[in-house]
């Protein structure tokens, strides 16, 4: 080593594609790469709830990550054929189960639970030889848009540590944006990969529903949940998506399709003739001036590069938010019934009186769930109850069908649809905590894709006048995920050329922390 290009700082700032190239060429070892990231985590992450640091991680798996890095280095030294990403580390959202590593989904009710198996996508990371750095912070059970509903304390936005990194996957997005991990896994039920990507200046993709196995995700709303990649570049997201995706017989909703040639699509960098549909209902009113200006400037770049920019209308998107906030709590209220104080994690016995199963369940759930989770269980249970089912859940399912029809019609006029990802840039910590409806309203642009099962990407279009990143959303028809990468890769290249470098090059220095030992599990 010793070469300037392999300093720890250069290693954490390198893209996954760059690291893969340097590892393959023998210029650097996976152990060095992992160590550089663990040092970066120690320097900037702090511990959740201590009020210092980003708190992107709930659990850092330093020893395991180093052991798997050394194993990959040994296999490489022995001349074994390796996956292109072998040795490149990755962080995993804490809603994904990891054998032998605590998994809490950001909840007290799962504190101390160590899963006996790996999610399919985690098996695939291991099969590719990717060391897992740890588990990232999130809103409890992925319910939220700010990561403030984590039972362990909020994640901070690396662009401005008084602001949220979005949610629910704020930990994965912040880890990637702050150079703590080159890649991370997220999940997106209503925007939890794309919205955090938008407000942290990173790239996030929700694949087509069924494109990445849900086996081993702690289920929130099963008909909407989808895991996907978080990265700093469109190509890196494609590379991770290719590792995670593809058919899995253990997920009944898994598509039979092989994962597409996503990295090739990201490298195409040609949008000539591509029909780009601007969704009228997801622009203008409700979107801040800074967000709208950045979005329009990106559209101009695409048009100059030969894309055909058209306007499309999806009138029922106006009701998508309402439908989502009935369907999602309904499914979640059922999925969360399994947390009963008997099978996983926390068990609380009633303070007095008889210890019956029902009373243990009530005491455990009362103590173990936070207020947002309780709110949604109550909402969902109400929406599904006899006498209200048709009016609430039934109507929401009808809206869901109409949203799908709007997409089908729009995709006759355009190859991809675009909008800003979120109505505003990152908002201050605490600013929406007392107003759940204001928090929900921020999901307006991301939710339609989940209701229809279509894939979506957020990539940064630049900084707004407040100096904070803006996300540009691309949506494609189901099973056409490669179109996201084709448009996203091209737009990213145009923007990088215009500004003379990657957006995250402008990330402000983060304050170094006094205490930095994160080798212990904080949620174990
Ligand atoms: N913000 C949305 C919600 O709170 C989306 C969450 C998610 O995608 N997991 O439901």
pLDDT of residue 50: 81
Pick the last residue of a domain from 341, 362, 394. Answer: 394
CA of 53 to the centre of ligand 1 (A): 24
For the CA of 224, the nearest atom of ligand 1: 8
Residue 516 lies in a domain: no
Question: Do residues 437 and 490 share a domain?
Answer: yes
Question: Do residues 344 and 425 share a domain?
Answer: no
Q: Is the CB of 192 under 6 A from ligand 1?
A: yes
pLDDT of residue 51: 79
Residue 11 lies in a domain: yes
Mean pLDDT for 94-112 is: 97
* Tens-place pLDDT, residues 238-254: 999 999 999 999 999 99
Cα–Cα distance for residue pair 202/200, rounded to 1 Å: 6
Predicted confidence band of residue 449 (pLDDT cuts 50, 70, 90): very high
Question: Do residues 185 and 327 share a domain?
Answer: no
Out of 94, 193, 328, 423, mutate this one to test ligand 1's pocket (max ligand atoms within 8 Å of CB): namely 328
Pick the last residue of a domain from 328, 361, 394. Answer: 394
Q: Is the CB of 190 under 6 A from ligand 1?
A: yes
Dihedral over Cα of 450, 433, 360, 344: its sign = positive
Residue 523 lies in a domain: no
CA of 188 to the centre of ligand 1 (A): 7
Out of 142, 335, 447, mutate this one to test ligand 1's pocket (max ligand atoms within 8 Å of CB): namely 142
Q: Is the CB of 189 under 6 A from ligand 1?
A: yes
Residue 520 lies in a domain: no
Question: Do residues 307 and 330 share a domain?
Answer: no
Q: Over 60: is that where the pLDDT of 3 sits?
A: no
CA of 258 to the centre of ligand 1 (A): 27
Per the structure, the complete domain to which residue 333 belongs is given by 320-394
Q: Give the closest residue (by CA) to ligand 1 atom 10.
A: 143
pLDDT of residue 47: 82
CATH code of residue 31: 3.90.1300.10
Q: Over 70: is that where the pLDDT of 516 sits?
A: no
Question: Do residues 311 and 331 share a domain?
Answer: no
Predicted confidence band of residue 6 (pLDDT cuts 50, 70, 90): confident
Mean pLDDT for 74-93 is: 98
pTM beyond 0.95? yes
- Backbone φ, ψ for residue 76 (5° rounding): -65, -45
Residues with a known catalytic role: 93, 168, 192
Mean pLDDT for 474-488 is: 98
* Tens-place pLDDT, residues 393-439: 999 999 999 999 999 999 999 999 999 999 999 999 999 999 999 99
- Cα 66–71–73 angle (5° rounding)? 95
Predicted confidence band of residue 517 (pLDDT cuts 50, 70, 90): low
C-alpha torsion angle, residues 359, 364, 365, 366 (rounded to 10):
80
pLDDT of residue 513: 81
CA of 191 to the centre of ligand 1 (A): 6
**Angle between helix 16-24 and helix 234-244 axes, rounded to 10 deg:** 70
Q: Over 50: is that where the pLDDT of 521 sits?
A: no
Question: Do residues 145 and 18 share a domain?
Answer: yes
DSSP, collapsed to helix, strand or coil, labels residue 300 as helix
- Residues facing 185 on adjacent strands: 92, 229
CA of 299 to the centre of ligand 1 (A): 27
Question: Do residues 75 and 130 share a domain?
Answer: yes
pLDDT of residue 113: 94
Pick the last residue of a domain from 370, 394, 418. Answer: 394
Report the range of poorest mean pLDDT among 117-121, 385-389, 458-462: 385-389
Q: Over 60: is that where the pLDDT of 229 sits?
A: yes
Question: Do residues 345 and 233 share a domain?
Answer: no
Reduced 3-state DSSP string for 57-113: EEEECHHHHHHHHHHHHHHHHCCCCCCCCCCCCEEEECCECECCECCCCCCHHHCCC
Mean pLDDT for 365-384 is: 97
Residue 517 lies in a domain: no
Question: Do residues 195 and 101 share a domain?
Answer: yes
Residues above pLDDT 70, as percent of the chain: 97
Out of 192, 218, 220, 439, mutate this one to test ligand 1's pocket (max ligand atoms within 8 Å of CB): namely 192
Question: Do residues 332 and 212 share a domain?
Answer: no
Q: Over 60: is that where the pLDDT of 452 sits?
A: yes
Q: Is the CB of 143 under 6 A from ligand 1?
A: yes
Q: Over 80: is that where the pLDDT of 445 sits?
A: yes
For the CA of 195, the nearest atom of ligand 1: 1
CA of 358 to the centre of ligand 1 (A): 30
Residue 512 lies in a domain: no
pLDDT of residue 5: 56
Residue 524 lies in a domain: no
Q: What is the CA radius of gyration of the chain?
A: 22
Mean pLDDT for 366-383 is: 97
Mean pLDDT for 269-275 is: 97
Q: Is the CB of 446 under 6 A from ligand 1?
A: no
Residue from 264, 266, 269, 226 nearest 245 by CA: 226
Contacts of 164 (CB under 8 A, 6+ apart): 146, 147, 148, 154, 155, 156, 157, 170, 199, 426, 427, 428, 429
pLDDT of residue 321: 97
Q: Give the closest residue (by CA) to ligand 1 atom 4.
A: 144
* Tens-place pLDDT, residues 147-178: 999 999 999 999 999 999 999 999 999 999 99
pLDDT of residue 518: 54
What's the structural domain count of the chain? 2
* Mean pLDDT taken over the chain: 95
Tell me how long the chain is: 524
Question: Do residues 333 and 348 share a domain?
Answer: yes
DSSP, collapsed to helix, strand or coil, labels residue 476 as coil
Q: Over 90: is that where the pLDDT of 464 sits?
A: yes
Residue 114 lies in a domain: yes
Q: Over 50: is that where the pLDDT of 523 sits?
A: no
């Amino acid at each position: 080593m010793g070469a300037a290009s392999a300093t720890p700082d250069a290693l954490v700032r390198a893209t996954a594609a760059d690291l893969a190239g340097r590892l393959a060429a023998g210029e650097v070892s996976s152990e060095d790469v992992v160590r550089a990231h663990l040092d970066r985590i120690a320097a900037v992450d702090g511990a959740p709830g201590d009020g210092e640091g980003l708190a992107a991680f709930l659990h850092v798996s330093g020893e395991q990550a180093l052991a798997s890095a050394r194993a990959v280095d040994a296999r490489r030294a022995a001349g074994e054929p390796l996956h292109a990403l072998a040795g490149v580390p990755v962080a995993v959202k804490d809603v994904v189960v990891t054998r032998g590593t605590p998994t809490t989904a950001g909840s007290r009710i799962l504190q101390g639970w160590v899963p006996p198996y790996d999610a399919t996508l985690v098996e695939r990371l291991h099969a590719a030889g990717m060391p897992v750095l740890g588990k990232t912070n999130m809103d409890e059970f992925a319910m939220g848009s700010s990561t403030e509903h984590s039972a362990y304390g909020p994640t901070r936005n690396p662009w401005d540590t008084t602001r949220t990194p979005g949610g629910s996957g704020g930990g994965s997005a912040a880890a990637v944006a702050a150079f703590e991990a080159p890649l991370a896994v997220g999940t997106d039920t209503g925007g939890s990969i794309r919205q955090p990507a938008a407000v942290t200046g990173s790239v996030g993709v929700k694949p087509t529903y069924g494109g990445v196995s849900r086996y081993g995700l702690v289920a929130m709303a099963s008909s909407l949940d989808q895991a996907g990649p978080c990265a700093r570049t469109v190509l890196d997201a494609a590379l991770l998506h290719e590792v995670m995706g593809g058919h899995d017989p253990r997920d009944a909703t898994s598509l039979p399709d092989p994962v597409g040639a996503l990295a090739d699509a990201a490298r195409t960098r040609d949008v000539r003739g591509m029909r780009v549909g601007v969704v009228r209902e997801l622009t203008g009113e409700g979107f801040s001036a800074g967000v709208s200006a950045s979005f329009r400037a990106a559209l101009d770049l695409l048009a100059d590069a030969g894309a055909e920019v058209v306007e499309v209308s999806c009138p029922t998107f106006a009701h998508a938010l309402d439908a989502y906030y009935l369907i999602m709590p309904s499914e979640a209220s059922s999925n969360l019934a399994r947390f009963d104080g008997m099978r996983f994690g926390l068990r609380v016995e009633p303070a007095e009186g008889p210890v019956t199963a029902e009373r243990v369940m009530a005491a455990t759930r009362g103590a173990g769930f936070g207020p947002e989770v309780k709110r949604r269980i109550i909402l969902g249970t109400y929406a599904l109850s006899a006498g209200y089912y048709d009016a609430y859940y039934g109507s929401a399912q009808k809206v869901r069908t109409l949203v799908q029809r709007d997409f089908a019609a729009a995709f006759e006029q355009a190859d991809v649809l675009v909008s800003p990802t979120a109505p505003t840039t990152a908002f201050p910590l605490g600013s929406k905590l007392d107003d759940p409806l204001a928090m929900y309203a921020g999901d307006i642009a991301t939710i339609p894709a989940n209701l229809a099962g279509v894939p979506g990407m957020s990539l940064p279009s630049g900084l707004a006048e407040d100096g904070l990143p803006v996300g540009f959303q691309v949506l494609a028809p189901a099973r056409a995920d490669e179109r996201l990468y084709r448009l996203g890769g091209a737009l990213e290249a145009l923007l990088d050329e215009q500004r003379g470098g990657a957006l995250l090059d402008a990330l402000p220095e983060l304050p170094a922390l006094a205490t930095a030992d994160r080798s212990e599990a904080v949620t174990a």
